């Protein structure tokens, strides 16, 4: 048998990603806004692999 396809890494969660952005020097509020903006602009392929991205509301 050939090599198995590598499974996609599981999303760490929105809180963890927000904390990572915050550690880069942004305030908690700014980190949340950055994450929300990037989530809204995620590609269709990203939304297919992580349906939670569709739950983020627009402004």
| pLDDT per residue as tens digits for the range 39-51 | 999 999 999 988 8
Q: How far apart are the first and last CA of the chain?
A: 49
Distance of CA 58 to the CA centre of its chain: 15
Structure token pair of residue 50: 């992580």
Domain assignment present for residue 3? The answer is: no
CB proximity list for 53: less than 8 A, separation 6 or greater? 39, 42, 46, 47
Domain assignment present for residue 44? The answer is: yes
Domain assignment present for residue 9? The answer is: no
Question: pLDDT tens digits, residue range 9-42?
Answer: 777 889 999 999 999 999 999 999 999 999 999 9
Q: Find the domain containing 40 and state its range.
A: 14-53
Domain assignment present for residue 33? The answer is: yes
Domain assignment present for residue 43? The answer is: yes
Which pLDDT score is estimated for 59? Answer: 67
Domain assignment present for residue 24? The answer is: yes
Domain count, the chain: 1
Which pLDDT score is estimated for 2? Answer: 52
Domain assignment present for residue 49? The answer is: yes
CB proximity list for 49: less than 8 A, separation 6 or greater? 8
């Amino acid at each position: 048998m050939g090599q198995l396809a590598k499974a996609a890494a599981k999303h760490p969660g929105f809180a963890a990603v927000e904390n990572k952005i915050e550690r880069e020097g942004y305030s908690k509020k700014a980190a949340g806004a950055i994450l929300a903006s990037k989530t809204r602009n995620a590609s269709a392929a990203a939304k297919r692999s992580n349906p939670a991205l569709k739950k983020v509301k627009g402004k």
